[in-house]
Structure 1
Amino acid sequence: MPPALGFGRALTRSRRLPGPTKSPSICLFCSFLPPRARFPPLQPSFQSTLPRSRRKPQPDAIRSQTTASAAPATSSKPDSDSNPRRALHRALLDLQSHAPGYVNTLRLQLALRNLTQPPGHESIRVAFLGASPPASSSTTTTPTARRNTTNRLLRLALADPLKPAQPWEAQLEAHDTATHPLVVRVGPAAAAAAEQHHLETDGTQIRQQEKKHVIPELRVSSPLLDGGNLELLIAEVGEALFADGVEVQVVDDAILVPTVEVASTTAGHVAPVRTPVHMAVLVGDGVLGAAGVLGLPVSEGRDVVTAAVNFAGLGEGDLRGCPLVPVNVDAASEGLALFRADVSNAMKFEALWTAGNVGRISKWLRANVLASGEGVTKAPVRNLVRSVLRNARAAIQEAEVRELSSELKEKVSPGSIAQLDQALSEWAQKAHEELQQQLDIAFSGRQWRNLGWWKLFWRADDVGMVASEMVALRFLPDAEKGIIYLAGRIQEAGIVEGQKGQPLYPGPTLIQPGTTSSRQDEIAPLTVAKWPTHIPFTRNYLQEKTVPALQALAQKLVIHSASLGGLSSALAGLSYLSGLGAYECGAIAALGLILSFRRLQQKWDAAREYWEGEVREEGRKAIRASEASIAGVLAEASKPRDDRHADLEELRKAEDIIKQAEDALSRMT
């Protein structure tokens, strides 16, 4: 389960398995398919999620601006995979048509709309959501005050201290977002002035829009965010979100696709409308509000979902290390009012504004909303596409696992399949536990500690022996025996695939110890064996490739350190012969020795840490690859029914489309 909103180098490794490696995080045993791409356009906005008869007509100036911004996307180059943005758009449309039940359609449409806009000029939606758990209703803070915190925080984040209070600031603070959500559009002062006659300080325009049964809108101008094409939604999250046992997907949908109630009839009836956003800010009030926000399980990172909680009277030391953004809305508001009243209050404004900590929210908005360069896609758009693809892949893989499990249980006796599945799960769990425990023992043992940098001068030649012995004795010995035993149980169950009446498992060809052939540096080909060979292959790889590299690095560092120390000592001696004093010459020699030892310590400690991490990571990959090899044999044990075969083909086709989209996203600027 993802963490709650508790927000909770290198040794050279040779190529080993088929396929060009494009990312260092790719599994050692994965094979690669060539990326493909295909497809054209789509377009929603905050109002497009409303029923067609309820949508607010765009002003002529805004409509002409929208048409102009969309024109480059429709009149650009011909369709070609060389255009990654068009390829990504085509892949997302294919995903929407082939797997509509496994993708969040609203978020996908938002991503498609962004891809039709010029790079770096995409419209970004951010939701400011008031988060008030039920327990906070018993506090002395009134519900109205808690709701107003969100409006006040947004006003402070958008306000310009160098200008007097604008009419929209009073409207924003006076609006009740608990009953009527509000859309705030940030744009240049000229665009805001074009509609100034629609905005009255008494909130008349907002009430008129409410009578038209659409989400009321407010246009503001912020000097730092005018060029970001920013749309803000202010609303409240439901109290049901804070109930115990709420699933992560439910929380993510409630935050990134918030539901707002829009008037659907003149009689006051309302209809829920879901509005997807790129990012969200959860705004709480007080300690209970912070506790409620921290308890929400959110899978997205802080660049997508962040939280701000209004605290009054707490110092910086009280909130050090807090995963939330602590703000003091009262202090920031007081500082802004003092500065606008008299510029001579600049010092007081600076102190109160710093204590209010509202600048962190403004900085977070600017960092994500403004483009990092001309023609560069904004980060929130990339994060949105990644999130959509990640969730779609997880849903498709879950459905595929269900289909495969159902097929296998129909082919072989259900009891045998259940026992083998349970045995495979138990083996994987024990293997991961063994990997962690045995490597912890090895890396905390006396032999490994004796290879510290200060002992490296007389133990450099022992590095290879100690590291190779650790790998041979501690790297998954019991897991290798367990996987062989499990392969025997599968053969005993009657699952026959090989020519000699036994299952054959795909795996890498073993590198024979001591091999000096040039083929050892080539990609290790795949083969089939009576049991998975990933663990012994990885052990041989570590011993034959990484251990010699680690020992060579140790010897190299010792030679460099000794050379630098010797050169500094020789320089000190020459300086002494040339007439410098003994103290000066000693200082030269000492400086050289200190620099050489410091470099030796940094390089060697980093190399040891990297090698430890590599051994752990390769062990984890070997376990996963062995488990996947066993699961693949079980999956091929029976022929799928025609209808399920078609379903699996559709799922795999959707996975291919996701791969195409990920490849296009990685190539897109």
Structure 2
Amino acid sequence: MSSASESATTAKKVARLLLADPLKEKESWEDELIQHNLAQPMLIRVGPNETQVPGTISIARSSLLHELHVSSAMFNGHNLELMLMESNPLQPGQQTADSISDFEESILVPIIDIPTSSTGRYTSVTTPVHTAIVVTNGIMGAASVAPLVTTSTEGVIKAAVDLPDYKPTQSAELPFTPIDAEAANTGLDLIREDIAKAIDFEHLWFQSNLPQLSDWLKANTAATADGSTKLPVRALISSILKNAVAAVQAEELQNLGASSASLQATPSAAKLQRQLDEWAQNAHKELQEQLDLAFESRRWRKLGWWKLFWRVDDVGHLTTDILNQRFLTAAERNAIFLAGRMAEAGAPLNPALIPTAASNANTAEAMEPTTSATTTTALATVRHPPRAAADWPLNIPASRAYLQTSTIPALQSLAQKLVVQTLSTSALTSALGALVYLGTLTTSVHEAGAVAALGVVWSLRRLQTRWESARRFWEGEVREEGRKAVRGVEGVMGDAIRGGGGGGGSVGAAAQRTTSEDEAQRRRAKALIQKAQDALEKL
């Protein structure tokens, strides 16, 4: 696992050097590995090459990840699979306990984006691993991985820092493994050129310190002599059970505190109002920052006017992806959480306060767009879909649905219309120039070409003006819909807080509903955890 984009090359080199066979010529998978872009994770399956028996049927298996099958003399019998990917490093000065914990979780439970079939969208999938090697470069890289040695994952996460000019002594105790990937690479090239240079290869190999990584991998993946569970698997199961025990204990303490504190443990109306104000501030900030990123992104630039000829069919799904990924996603989750806190405090949302129809039926007219009358008409179809009853405000998802179902189809239709008009106008003026040239004896080729060029330039200029105006108008409409959604959520929740107050009676009744069913569930969970721990001891 690479700890930064500049370390991606080193990470790929380390993976190649650990798996390559020095007694063989350079294999095709080595070039494929080095040339792969780690922005998309790669799965490396290590095992002997399988030969198909004549007369049998081989079923092709497609994978949504880039897979590479490698036969390694050192690791073939270890059932090893490597996930090669990038990870954001810890920044010096920001290495708090929470940030270190989040970094460890991102390494041991990485989240990768899997492309869905035929739609061009991505689905986030968690891919837990048993152990991880973090590869980074230089002094700054060493500073970013140094805090990992103080955590409980010391035996699960291995840090390797490429420091070519540093030669540690045998007694040096470092929180990471210093390596020299270039020295190992030079040694591998030497022995492949001439087997007589095996001594030089061995010297450079041990000088690079890569044997430490190789031994660590083998120790964690080799089968045990007595057939017991491998250490990384035991550590993973033990960690899961410890987290389960901690979660049960935390829930017990929370219920105990709620029953003893009664009203004092309940958020007051003033506290809820402060949380609502903080939510609104963060939501407006998120709206501005995320939409700025979205409209400056490469995906939005793909819809430039001169790219519209081959991107016209992509307008719909590119703009939909922008809304799904950048339109108040965090604010929506936080609003649901805050609505739950309000219901707990006895101030649930009043369904009558949640609007059930469109509140922005005249969005386009209020925004005073700079587009032409035709564009305004095409983009101003404004109707929200009806909203179902819910325990949290639906303003944000309803605004997103409105933009997806009303404005995006209009934008798609306008793009197709402009492309057809541009092509037809250019074709007609070109045909007119040809007729003028063929129909008159005094017209030169340059004059006829000027007629055709005039039509092409005019149609392209018209396409540029109208499409860029439509894009600016859609950007403004998305921002305005976001602001209206935030104000709507703030108004609904504010009315509920002012109308529900602290809800002492409701809260008291809720505090008394710690039923025997909840206690029975916790007892069953404890029994299952204890049973799993006993089974782990026998593995």
Give the alignment's TM-score, normalised by structure 1: 0.40
As a proportion of its length, which structure holds more helix? 2
The structure showing larger relative contact order (alpha-carbon pairs under 8 Å, at least 6 residues apart) is: 1
